[in-house]
Amino acid sequence: MDIQSTAHEIQLAVAPVFLLTGVAALLGVMTTRLSRVIDRARSLEGDWSSLDEKGQVETRSELALLERRAHLASWAINACTAAAFLVCVLIATLFVGGLVGTHLHWLVAALFILTMAALIVGLVCFWREVYLAMHALRIGPPVSQLRRE
């Protein structure tokens, strides 16, 4: 291989790096959300002994929701990490295939499809976690208390 064809193969192999950058940004957001969920759960568990029976019931309910959210965030992170790994394998496959001169079109296509599937799973889990967080959001006193005033 000459220098120009090697440079072209590097260009082809580097193109998916932009996808890898996007997945890395998503992973940053997802890990931040997971850490916030964990921090909130630890805070509630720390206050447990000072709660009355009604407070413990409400806290138990919130902890169950936080546990569900943490699992979804974890699945989202796992799926997006798998997508990032598959992008790395895809980049290596493109480069090695071009360097050696083999035709790995089916492998490249399969890796890209698997990458997109993993990314879709991660985004669906993330979407569900955000939905649960927004569904459980309460700002201010409950509506029933506002009606009494």
Domains of the chain, residue spans: 3-144
Query: In the structure encoding, which two tokens stand for residue 33, read together?
Result: 């959300």
- For 55-61, what is the mean pLDDT? 84
Q: Measuring CA to CA, which residue among 144, 26, 138 is closest to residue 81?
A: 26
Residue 3 pLDDT greater than 70, yes or no: yes
Burial label for 147, CB within 10 Å (0-12, 13-18, 19+), is exposed
User: How crowded is residue 92: how many other Cβ atoms within 10 Å of its Cβ?
Assistant: 12
The mean pLDDT value for 13-37 works out to 92
Global confidence as pTM: 0.80
- CA distances for 37 relative to 5, 24, 31, 40, angstroms: 49, 20, 10, 5
Give percent of the chain above pLDDT 90.
54
Share of the chain above pLDDT 70, in %: 91
How far is it, in rounded angstroms, from Cα 49 to Cα 60? Answer: 12
Helix 17-46 vs helix 53-100: angle between axes, to the nearest 10 degrees? 160
Distance (Å, whole) CA 34 – CA 45: 17
Two structure tokens written together for 146: 């506002």
Give me the pLDDT at residue 109, please: 92
